[in-house]
Amino acid sequence: MSKSVELQDVDIYYGTFKAVEGVSLTVAKNAVTAFIGPSGCGKSTVLRTINRMHEVIPGAYVKGKVLLNGEDIYGTGVDPVNVRRTIGMVFQRPNPFPTMSIAENVLAGVRLAGERMSKSDAEAVVEESLRGANLWEEVKDRLDRPGSGLSGGQQQRLCIARAIAVKPDVLLMDEPCSALDPISTLAIEDLIRELVEDYTIVIVTHNMQQAGRVSDTTAFFNLAGVGQPGRLVESGTTSDIFSHPKEQATEDYISGRFG
């Protein structure tokens, strides 16, 4: 079941450095939301805040509220491990576990969390997740081969399979195609459109065409100036943001006049 995410007046810090300020944003469920904006404006930082991956960095912390279906994921007593099981993440560079086979990679989230699973259940999860990531046909004959032996695009789809194998409600993707060729990129974009049936998806991208192709909603982030925290400039349906943005900065960025 996919869930909506709401950020309420979120400030994000790396130690004493305030990287992002005053972000309020609603991410609708069963929709693709794209984060766009110039480099360093805090897109990844906001994305990582949504599943508490931000806290992995020493000294980093968050002020404000992040609600998952109305429940504050930074509330007292909330276990970040549970948050991350509910909100999965796919990274910029494909990062399959090098000691594990393709099947083991898919099962990693389930197995490493210590859950026991019968062999037939495990096989079912592997097939379902790999089919979900459009990778099954390519790898079904070599599930016991190392995951690092796949091509970059296949590795990225393996990482997506791994992320959806734990059945999250929300899927965060930080520039998932930036290390891939155009064909693999299209494959992943198609996949995103399929996945949105079941998941809420947030994707960071530098590629305007990609944002236009895959997203329903777009959020534009920007920096007020060097050394200043990043801000959310505006958000809205992708067609609105791309055809008649309210802010001049958004229009400049989208039309390629800066950034």
Partner 1 sequence: MATTTMPTRSQPSSLIGGQLPRWATPTVGASAVAAAFALNLTTGLAGWFGTAIVAALVFLVIQSIWSFRVEGRRHAVDRLATTLVYSTFVAAIVPLVSVLFTVLVKGLAVMSWAFLTDSMRNVSPRAEGGGVGHAIVGTLQQVGIAAAFAVPVGILAAIYLVEYGRGRLAKVISFFVDVMTGIPSIVAGLFIFTAFVLGLGLERSGFAAALALAILMLPVIIRTTEEMLKIVPNDLREASYALGVPKFRTILKVVLPTALAGIVTGAMLSVARVAGETAPLLLTTFLTQSYNYNPLEGPQASLPLFIWDQITSGTSASVGRAWGGALVLITIVMLFYITAKLLAARFAPKG
Residues that bind partner 1 (CB under 8 A): 51, 53, 56, 58, 81-86, 88-89, 91, 93, 95, 97-99, 101, 108-109, 111-114, 145-149, 159, 162-163, 166
Give which of partner 1, Mg ion, ligand ATP, none residue 8 binds (C-beta under 5 to 8 Å, depending on kind): none
Nearer to ligand ATP, 40 or 75 (CB): 40
Residue selected from 10, 19, 158, 161 as contacting ligand ATP according to rule CB under 6 A: 19
Q: Which stretch binds Mg ion (CB under 5 A): 40-48, 114-122, 147-155, 238-246?
A: 40-48
- In the list 33, 44, 105, 185, the residue contacting Mg ion (rule: CB under 5 A) is 44
Residue ranges of alpha helices (H) inside 133-256 are 136-139, 152-165, 182-195, 208-214, 238-243, 248-254
From the list 43-51, 74-82, 117-125, 133-141, the region that binds ligand ATP by CB under 6 A is 43-51
44 and 54 in contact (C-beta within 8 Å)? no
CA angle 52, 158, 160 (to 5 degrees): 40
**Residue 19 binding result from ligand ATP, partner 1, Mg ion, none, given CB thresholds of 5 to 8 Å by partner type:** ligand ATP
56 interacts with ligand ATP by CB under 6 A: no
Cα–Cα dist 85/82, whole Å: 5
Q: Could you tell me which residues come within 8 angstroms of residue 159 by beta carbon, excluding any fewer than 6 positions away?
A: 90, 91, 94, 95, 96
Q: Does 224 contact ligand ATP by CB under 6 A?
A: no
Q: Tokens in use for 156?
A: 């990225």
Footprint of Mg ion on this chain (CB under 5 A)?
44
